[in-house]
Structure 1
Amino acid sequence: MITFINRFTVTGPPEEFERAFERTSAFFGTRPGFVRHRLLKHADDPATYVNVAEWQDRDSFEQAVRHPDFAAHRAALRALSTGEPGIYTVHYERVA
């Protein structure tokens, strides 16, 4: 399992970013290896969002972002925001 985290700073209208992200979410939801994701919006800074996505493995994620249909999604998000993406693995976890 890997976790992809991308912190977005929205530079365009937030509503347009959210719609573009929703379309991207639908695309990823159809890709093999996708588990789930959450889009978080900063409580005090309306221009900051964080995507936290879980994938079965790194290869599944990389195949999804290399898929030709993803290019349009990437372009739409980049037109409305800047991102700080990274892939993470679980180092430590505690569950209540």
Structure 2
Amino acid sequence: NEKGREVNYNYYDSRELTDACYDFIIESLEKQLQFGIETDVCFCLGNNQNYKFLNNLNQQRGYFGKIVPLEHPRYIMQYKSKQKEEFVSKFVELLL
């Protein structure tokens, strides 16, 4: 940034970057689906923009039965670290 600090920039932060990454995202996801994984539920790390993108993609392509958004671990550690055990319990409960 203008202050010389590193800035986190995600694939969904600009339309241009999303468009540039789109084919790679599809290709990577479809390769992973060929592993023979269960597709009835997908857990999405990130319950805002990442979830919206993946959910829209899933509505178009029907990869998963449903997508469950989870708080991103970086968000938890950066902003909610005092409640991290609550998030761990929530994640474990959902995964079991």
Q: Name the TM-score, length of structure 2 as normaliser.
A: 0.30
Q: Which has the higher strand share?
A: 1
Q: Taking CA–CA contacts closer than 8 Å with sequence separation of 6 or more, which of the two structures ends up with the larger relative contact order?
A: 1
Q: Which has the higher helix share?
A: 2
